Structures are given as structure tokens and as C-alpha cells.
Chain A
Amino acid sequence: MSENRNDNMQTYQPSQAACPIDVMSIYPKDMNIYGDWGNVLTIKRRLALYGYEPVIHTYNQGDPWPEHVDMILGGGGQDNGQKKISDDFFKRADILRTLVQEDVPMLMICGMYQLFGEYFETIDGTKLDGIGIFGVYTEGRETRMIGNLLEHSDQFGDVIGYENHSGQTFLREGVAPFGHVDHEGWGNNGKDGTEGARVHNVIGTYMHGPLLPKNPEVSDFLIRAAATHRYGEFQPRQSDAQKAELAHIDELAANARRVAATRPR
């Protein structure tokens, strides 16, 4: 347990004053590629439209750990970036594992998804350890898996985005994927039809695009879980204007999804 961290479970009474929700963007300096920042923007805006007060923390290696963490968003990076953060990441591994057990929602894309697994073995045989939150491991391959990606999730329906990775990820027996893909050459490893992984309230996935703007179902799952973690329940307090704005955004997202689903790989 970190010395910086207070008890997250203390409860706040939702009142007329805005209720803060603390969202952490983890390692944005080195793990932030393919518009991952869009996920943070999406959570920030939607929290506000649900009547919460989003408090965004950017956490880079060496930074103090914030007092409250109700949600963590992590992105992709180059091999170089993964190496740069790894020391700090291992120092924070215990906090992260505890937060996972406490059902803090987390979204880990691409490079961070790999590091949330057991290990990543690069193509030249170098083994980069992960923190083992997902029972998955990744092997580097010559060919990149690149292209528009559509997957089916039991929990969220169809999820739409784009994948771009050369690591192939394999799930251990019994580990739930985030979704299933219809085509060979897509998803975790191109062969077993799975994409991403799920455990507690943590989503690991190769889906960027970024993922959250075009998949409001996933965004709202993370927000509900974050509010529940902080306040024991999700209780939006929206004005009519906020409701209308959210409906407008979701309509744009529905149109963007409709078009994206028709585009070539």
C-alpha cells in the first residue's frame, strides 16, 4: 500500500454540490499513441454531463500517486515507451492489484494491455514482465495486425475501432476475452477469434480509434463502476440541457459507428 494513498472507500454523500470522480490517465507521456487521449476526453465530458465533477490526474513515472483513484485509463506506446515506464510500473503494481480487487474500473489499451498480462516476449527473445492482472501473455511477431476492427461483446454489443499491433496475445484457460472477432487475422492473435481480456472491472484491448468516443456503452460502464466505487451507487444529476447534449453526442456516435462498420479493413 502506498503511503500517499488514503482510504478510497470512505463515502461521500451526493449533494447539490458536484460530486468529484477522480480519473487517472496512467503514463500519458510514454503510453499515449493513436489518440488514446480521446478516451480521457470522453470520460471527462460524459462525467460532467452526468452531473459529476471529473478530476483528471495525469500520472507519469515518478509522480506522487493521487489521493483518490476511481478509474484508470491507459494507452498504447512504442516498445521504447514500455521500457521507460517499466521500473515505475513495477513499483506501482501492488496498488494497481489492490484497486483491481476493489473493482476500480480500468481500460488498458494495446501496450498497457500487454503489460497488464503476464509477460511480453519480443521478437528477438527479450522478455518484458507484466504485472499479471490478466492471465494472458504476448509474443512479438513480424507481421502487424492492422485495420478497422469490429468485435462482438456479450456485455457491450458490437464494439468498433481500429487495431494496430505486432504482439500476439494468448489467453490462459478460463480467461474471458473482451469480445469475439469474425475474421482470421483479427484480434488477440489472429487465430482463436478472441480480442482483449476482461477481469473484475478491467478491460484490456487492442481496440483504439480511440475506443470510448464511438462506444458509449463501454464509456458508461466505466463511469457507472467509478461512481459505484466512490459513492456506492451511480446517481446522475443532469439538467435537461445536459441530457439533450448527451443524446446529441450519442446520436453522432451512432452515425460514426454506422459508417465505420462499412469501411474496408
Chain B
Amino acid sequence: MNTQGNTNATNHPGNKERNMAKVASTPRRPWNAFATPTIGKAVRGLSRLLRHGGSAFPGKVVETIDPGFLARTLGQLPYGVVLVSGTNGKTTTTRMIASMLKDLNLKVFTNPTGSNFTRGVVSALLTEVSASGKLDADIAVLELDEAYAVHFVHQVRPRYSLLLNVMRDQLDRFGEIDNTARLLSHVAEATTGTVVLNREDRRIAALANVVPEGTQVRYFGLSDELRKLFPSDDDMHAGDLSAAEKAAAKVEGVNTALASAVAPATAAKVDMAASHDIFDSEGNRIIPKLDARETVSASLAMADSLASQRLADVVLNRVGDHEAEFVMDDAEFETKVQLEGVYNLFNAAAALAVVRAVTKEIKNADVTLPRARDERLMRALSHVTPAFGRGEVITVGKAPVELLLVKNPMGFRMSLASFAPDGHDTMIVINDEYADGRDMSWLWDVDFTSLRGTGVEMVSGVRAWDMALRLEYEGVKVAKTDTNIEEAVRQFVTADPGKPKHIYCTYTAMLKVRSELGKYAKVADAGVGK
């Protein structure tokens, strides 16, 4: 990875582009390539039959016999590839982009199964391609985990990339958060058309500096008011012990649980512009020239100060109960949404920015009048439903049971802030398999004080006792702890029939909980295997 970065840095940007484009457009085609789709499909069918279930397995076979399959197949698409990466919100945002593009009458290939590894993409492609290897689609929208995104862009250069955020997530896999940002800088470097960046995440916004010449940069952002509600990873502990912690500013239209869950120090810190960092004594702006690999950490201060100066293509302006208002080209657009949680509305702003970039290229779509296009996008957005485990509601008896996937401290915090616990029973299920992250320390970076009022009915999962201990130290009462998920789900959903419920789970816990809920309610196929 680093070797790649070094080579690129010494090359002329134009050369680099040509070189990479050449690699991407003429992938190696082995003698047996004609048979790849057939073989892959056969393996896929077989593995389904044998209930192997892992959605990535057929991809593994194809990667081995025909490593050029991915680049060759995606290379056919007239509008190229949209790559979505970042720590939180990939699945939902990918779903939104795909859904809006479909609404514009594009044929969209996507990996909706949450298998955000390259192998998962290959597996998903196998179900779509014809026996001759033709993919019947106009554009691909792919979510990829940060590390695999780098792997992917070495094979296929995306035309569009959307980089959502960098937060502490599975640090045991990626090392450090600056490291994660460095992984994403490879994606920005490889993008040929437009890179869409989160203006409010300083590590992401700083990636504008590595975008190659000829590639556009667009931002999505928050209004000043809303920025206070979205703490960055660095602010996580800013207000941990402050006495005024709970006196957070109330923002019109946002539930107070959200306001109180976010430390007030955050607002000041995020807004604070260290103006002396970017202006010299004569008031000229200093734009430091930086080596690409150094850029991420060296220019963070600058990114902070520029946050309010960067013009965002789409701004999330105001949020309410299942409604949102966006500003695009100085016009305000309001829409109802089915998505849960405020952070998903910010993801919607990201998705809108991507789709607007794509529509610049579409000739025959009904996008000649921007205003009409944006209104149409709003309608499309209002139809998007939450993805698996991202605020999915399963009805047990008469009670809605809301499933909330939690993967990292900031995501957990935002979920707790978005779903007021009052009037609900709460269950938390924590596993520590590889996909969940083995390290339990992240639970201590989540602020659980919002659960003090109601307490937690049930704690389960392999690491139930770690979770219970965490809650106890926070002063949150835990009624029951049971490491056996099957038994815990049974007790939880049958204990107080009719009362709405929240279940927070890690990834593998979510799969298990869903399948257990299937005994008490109708649960759609998650499409992720077992």
C-alpha cells in the first residue's frame, strides 16, 4: 500500500492517471475467462445448496481462477462505479444512492447484502452477469470497508467515490484512526470523476488535497445549528466530566435526548477556527504543499479552519420527526423520510451529493432543470427504507421491536441519542467475533447515561458480562444478564407484550437475534447468510 503511494507521489499526475487507467481498462484475461460466470454461478448455487451460506465464498473461487473478472465486468458500465466507504453509514447510504439512481431510470448494480469486502462484490456480480460475462447495468454502487476499498481501487478505479467519515471502529484491524484516513486517501487518489467528502469530518475533508488533477471535489455538510449535534471522533471525550454536560443546547425540531447526549464542548470545538493557522501576517491564505502521505495528519488544523468556508453541494439544514430539510443551490427542499435516526439524514445529504454529481453526466434523464431534478430526488429519498439492522422494525405480537446495529462508539452514541428509551424496553447484545471486533474497550467510549432513567431490561451476547459491568459503572440498572442469546431474546420479547422495544446488537449478535425473532414474528431474509 505504501509502496503504491510512494510511486504515485514521484510520478507526474497525468502519467499516473494514464498508467492506472491502462491497468483498469485492459485487465488480464486468462484463457478460461469465458467460463468464469458459469463456474462462479455453479459454486454459488452449490454453496447455497450445501447451506454454506457465506456470501463471499463463491467470490473467493472466482478471485483465484480469474483475478481480472472484477475489473473486466465493472469496466463495461457506461456510468462507471460509485464507491462508498467510511466507518459509519455505508450500507444505508449505498442503499439511498442506488434507490435514487433507480428512480432516475438507471439500471443499478449494488452489493446490498452488507458483504462489503471485494469478494462479496465478486459474489454479488456472479448472480447478475450473463453467461457471456455481460453485466446488465448502467452504473454500480458499491459499499466497501476501508481496507478493502484500497484493495478494490487497485483493480478498478471508481468514477465517483463517497467518503463518509473516519471514527474509531475495529481499531484492532486498522490500527489507528489516522491510519484509517490514510487508507481512504488511496480511494480519493484513484477516483477519476468526482470525490464527495464530508465537510464536517476534518480527516475526510482534508482528503481534498490528494484528489488528482481533473477530478472534482464536492462536499456534503451540516448547517451551523446541526453541526453541534454531530460530535467528531476527537470530541468524544471533550465533555466527559463537565458539570454542564447535560445542559446541551436545544435545537428546534430535534428531540431532547439527542441534544442531551452530545456534550456542549463539542459545538465550540467544532466551530472553533484556528485562523492563525491559515493566514499569514499579511492576511494571505497559506496553502501548504504537502506530500500526499503526510497530508492527512498535517493538514487537519487547516481542514478545521476551512470547514465553514468550504461550500457544500448539499447541506442538511434542519431535522424533525421523520422529516428533513436540505439546502441545494441555495434552495431549500423539505421531505418526509422513513429512515430512523438523525445520522441517517446526514447520510442522505451525502447520497444526494453523489447522485447530483452522477446526473451531470446523464443525458437522457429528466435532469435538464436542476430544480425539477432535486424535487424528484427528494421524492425518491422519501421512499428509501432502512437497511437490515439499521433501525429495522420487526413486529412481535403487537409490539414494534426495533433492531439497531452498533459497531463503534460514535455509532452507538448516535443511536442512543436518536432513539429515546422512554416507553421502551431496552436490550443490548454484544458479541466479540472477528466481524464484531475482539476488543471490548469500545464499550467504554460510549456514553450510556441516557439509559439511567429506564435501565436496561436484558443484556446478552458472548460478552454480556462486560456490557453489564460497563452499565453498572455508569449507574445504569440492568435487570437481567444472560450470555445465551436464544434464551435472552425469548425472555425479552415475551416479558412485557405490547411494549415497544429496542435491541442494540453487534453484527454477529444481530444475525442471531434476527433468526431468534423469526420464531415469534415474520422476519425478512437478511440476505447475509448465517
Complex: A40 Cα to B463 Cα, angstroms: 21
In the complex the two chains form, is B240's CB within 8 Å of A37's CB? Answer: yes
In the complex the two chains form, is B469's CB within 8 Å of A45's CB? Answer: no
Q: Does A64 contact B (CB under 8 A)?
A: no
Q: Does A28 contact B (CB under 8 A)?
A: yes
A250 to chain B, nearest CB (A): 10
In the complex the two chains form, is B468's CB within 8 Å of A252's CB? Answer: yes
In the complex the two chains form, is A34's CB within 8 Å of B441's CB? Answer: yes
Q: Does A144 contact B (CB under 8 A)?
A: yes
A217 to chain B, nearest CB (A): 15
Q: Does B241 contact A (CB under 8 A)?
A: yes
B-contact 0/1 string along A178-216, CB 8 Å cutoff: 000000000000000000000000000000111001100
Chain B residues with CB under 8 Å of A34's CB are 171, 439, 441-442
Q: Does A253 contact B (CB under 8 A)?
A: yes
Q: Does A263 contact B (CB under 8 A)?
A: yes
Asked whether A259 and B462 contact (CB < 8 A) given A29-B237, A32-B237, A80-B297, the answer is: yes
In the complex the two chains form, is A263's CB within 8 Å of B441's CB? Answer: no
User: Which B431-447 residues have C-beta < 8 A from chain A?
Assistant: 432, 438-445
Q: In the complex, which of the residues B442, B466, B475, B483 contacts A214, with contact meaning CB atoms closer than 8 Å?
A: B466
B299 to chain A, nearest CB (A): 13
Chain A residues with CB under 8 Å of B440's CB are 35, 162, 209, 260
A218 to chain B, nearest CB (A): 15
Q: Does B103 contact A (CB under 8 A)?
A: no
User: Which B214-250 residues have C-beta < 8 A from chain A?
Assistant: 237-238, 240-241
Number of A-B residue pairs with CB-CB distance less than 8 Å in the complex they form: 104
In the complex the two chains form, is B469's CB within 8 Å of A249's CB? Answer: yes
In the complex the two chains form, is B441's CB within 8 Å of A38's CB? Answer: yes
Q: Does A228 contact B (CB under 8 A)?
A: no
In the complex the two chains form, is A259's CB within 8 Å of B444's CB? Answer: no
Stretch of B172-180, B316-324, B395-403 that contacts chain A: B172-180
Q: Does B168 contact A (CB under 8 A)?
A: yes
Asked whether A80 and B178 contact (CB < 8 A) given A32-B237, A34-B171, A162-B441, the answer is: yes
Q: In the complex, which of the residues B177, B178, B241, B469 contacts A256, with contact meaning CB atoms closer than 8 Å?
A: B469
Chain A residues with CB under 8 Å of B178's CB are 78-80
Chain B residues with CB under 8 Å of A244's CB are none
A135 to chain B, nearest CB (A): 27
In the complex the two chains form, is B438's CB within 8 Å of A213's CB? Answer: no
Complex: A41 Cα to B443 Cα, angstroms: 13
Asked whether A252 and B465 contact (CB < 8 A) given A35-B444, A45-B473, A146-B172, the answer is: yes
CB-based nearest B residue for A46? B473
Size bracket of the A interface: 35 or more
A186 to chain B, nearest CB (A): 14
Asked whether A213 and B439 contact (CB < 8 A) given A80-B178, A80-B297, the answer is: no
Asked whether A58 and B241 contact (CB < 8 A) given A35-B441, A263-B438, the answer is: yes
A-contact 0/1 string along B446-478, CB 8 Å cutoff: 000000000000000011111011101111000
In the complex the two chains form, is B465's CB within 8 Å of A259's CB? Answer: yes
25 A-B pairs within 8 Å (CB atoms) are namely A29-B237, A34-B439, A35-B444, A36-B444, A38-B470, A41-B473, A56-B241, A58-B240, A80-B297, A148-B438, A162-B172, A162-B438, A162-B441, A166-B175, A209-B439, A210-B444, A213-B469, A248-B472, A249-B473, A252-B465, A252-B468, A252-B469, A256-B463, A256-B468, A263-B438
Mostly, the A contact residues are mixed
In the complex the two chains form, is A37's CB within 8 Å of B237's CB? Answer: yes
In the complex the two chains form, is A208's CB within 8 Å of B441's CB? Answer: yes
Chain A residues with CB under 8 Å of B470's CB are 38, 213
B175 to chain A, nearest CB (A): 6
User: Which A228-265 residues have C-beta < 8 A from chain B?
Assistant: 248-249, 252-253, 255-256, 258-260, 263-265
4 further A-B contacts with Cβ under 8 Å, apart from A34-B441, A259-B463, are A45-B475, A252-B472, A259-B465, A264-B438
Complex: A32 Cα to B237 Cα, angstroms: 8
Complex: A41 Cα to B449 Cα, angstroms: 12
In the complex the two chains form, is A41's CB within 8 Å of B438's CB? Answer: no
Complex: A79 Cα to B466 Cα, angstroms: 29
Q: In the complex, which of the residues B168, B171, B464, B473 contacts A213, with contact meaning CB atoms closer than 8 Å?
A: B473
In the A-B complex, the 8 residue pairs with the smallest Cβ-Cβ separation, listed nearest first, are A35-B444, A38-B444, A35-B441, A256-B465, A255-B465, A34-B441, A252-B469, A78-B176
Complex: A264 Cα to B436 Cα, angstroms: 13
In the complex the two chains form, is B438's CB within 8 Å of A35's CB? Answer: no
Q: Does A42 contact B (CB under 8 A)?
A: yes
B36 to chain A, nearest CB (A): 35
Chain B residues with CB under 8 Å of A56's CB are 241
Q: Does A164 contact B (CB under 8 A)?
A: yes
Chain A residues with CB under 8 Å of B439's CB are 34, 162, 164, 209
Question: Which of A32, A42, A256: most chain B CB closer than 10 A?
Answer: A256
In the complex the two chains form, is B438's CB within 8 Å of A147's CB? Answer: yes
In the complex the two chains form, is A260's CB within 8 Å of B466's CB? Answer: yes
Chain A residues with CB under 8 Å of B481's CB are 252, 255
Question: Which of A34, A148, A208: most chain B CB closer than 10 A?
Answer: A34
Complex: A29 Cα to B176 Cα, angstroms: 15
